Amino acid sequence: MAAKDYYAILGVSRDADDATLKKAYRNLARAYHPDRNPGDKKAEERFKEVSEAYGVLADPEKRAQYDRFGTVGGTGDVGFGTIFEDLFEGFFGGGERGRGRGRVRRGDDLRYDLEITLEEAAAGMETKLQVPRLEACETCQGSGVQPGGHVEICASCRGQGQVRFTQGFLTVARPCPNCRGEGRIVRHPCTGCRGQGRVSRERLLKVTIPAGVENGNQLRLSGEGEGGPQGGPAGDLYVVLHVKAHEIFVRDGAHLVCELPLTFPQVALGDEIEVPVLDGTAKLKVPAGTQPGQRLVLRGKGMPHLRGRGRGDAVYEVVVEVPTDLTARQRELLEEFRRSHEGGSNPRVSKFLERMKQLFGS
């Protein structure tokens, strides 16, 4: 195997300094990066070659050895991954929006608002969402280039996507007018997407909503957002859950609370009644002497815990209903009930009246 001319590969002179090497490598690596040339074997080869050349020349020891012997012992692994990450730090994976184009950018995140019932939140569910989004074009894998087509690195900006010019003391960077900031010129735009790299698609996505979710909870569907421009990675889809108000129950964490209207005889004498639960009805014992506002509880009849086991409780807040439309017979019975009370009134009221008499001596 003939020794490679690393200087020629990077297109620099033999006395190029570090800055020149770095710049040359950056431009070439960007142009030949596999993400920007999907499926292009030649570009991939070039990318490896360029990375290897830079890996050697950027290391003073290896460069000296290479200059003397025209080869470097134990090549192969030049740790290009690290070098690449080094140079392009913060370059991939989004967060670089608007800082010049011609860079690999992540697609936008999408939000989908989904309304569900309390019953669905309790049971969990599987559903399908119809999501319109931009996706990487299948024909060109998002590159915008017709398969087998030709891409040139823009000569005006040498692939940078920006041109700089000086105005007084200021150096201003502007998107390159020749390539419209792309850093490249596509000679054969993809016909599937008219060179855009992305196409509008409507997808039916299956989501599984775990039992116990609450209003405002979000589910993240990784990579189901919009495709990145020029074949960049897709963003995420966030499903925001809205749990509809229930006609009976109000949620309190994992507990379900509702009002329970009872008659005076029911709370006074006790009763066993049917009460609503989320999935039907259940039997509830009302002890004799139950007070207004007292909470009667059915353990484990509430919402399931989202993380963890078991369920909360169903809680019934007692409201004592006072009848306003007594029949003659009912009135008679109540009168009799009143007469049956010693003194005719509540002992607390009698005590209070007695104290008042002591104080004011009437």
Burial class (CB in 10 A: 0-12, 13-18, 19+), 69: exposed
| Minimum CB–partner distance for residue 229 and Zn ion (Å) | 12
Query: How many angstroms from the chain centroid is the CA of residue 278?
Result: 29
Q: Is 200 in the site for Zn ion (CB under 5 A)?
A: no
| Minimum CB–partner distance for residue 108 and Zn ion (Å) | 19
Whether 245 and 286 have beta carbons less than 8 Å apart is answered as no
Whether 256 and 275 have beta carbons less than 8 Å apart is answered as no
Binding window for Zn ion (CB under 5 A); candidates: 132-140, 240-248, 286-294, 298-306: 132-140
Q: For Zn ion, which is the closer residue by CB, 229 or 235? A: 229
- Binding residue for Zn ion, selected from 9, 24, 190, 267, defined by CB under 5 A: 190
Residue at token pair 């020749």: 178
Give the integer Cα–Cα distance in Å for 121 and 116.
7
Whether 303 and 121 have beta carbons less than 8 Å apart is answered as yes
Q: For Zn ion, which is the closer residue by CB, 29 or 140? A: 140
Binding window for Zn ion (CB under 5 A); candidates: 66-74, 134-142, 248-256, 285-293: 134-142
Q: Is 162 in the site for Zn ion (CB under 5 A)?
A: no
Q: Give me the helices (H) in 193-327, please.
A: 264-269
Q: Is 157 in the site for Zn ion (CB under 5 A)?
A: yes
Binding window for Zn ion (CB under 5 A); candidates: 192-200, 249-257, 308-316, 322-330: 192-200
Q: Is 140 in the site for Zn ion (CB under 5 A)?
A: yes
- Binding residue for Zn ion, selected from 137, 254, 278, 286, defined by CB under 5 A: 137
| Minimum CB–partner distance for residue 39 and Zn ion (Å) | 12
CB crowding 154-181: b at 16 or more within 10 Å, else e? beebbbbbbbeeeeeeeeeeebbeebeb
Binding window for Zn ion (CB under 5 A); candidates: 20-28, 105-113, 182-190, 347-355: 182-190
| Minimum CB–partner distance for residue 140 and Zn ion (Å) | 3
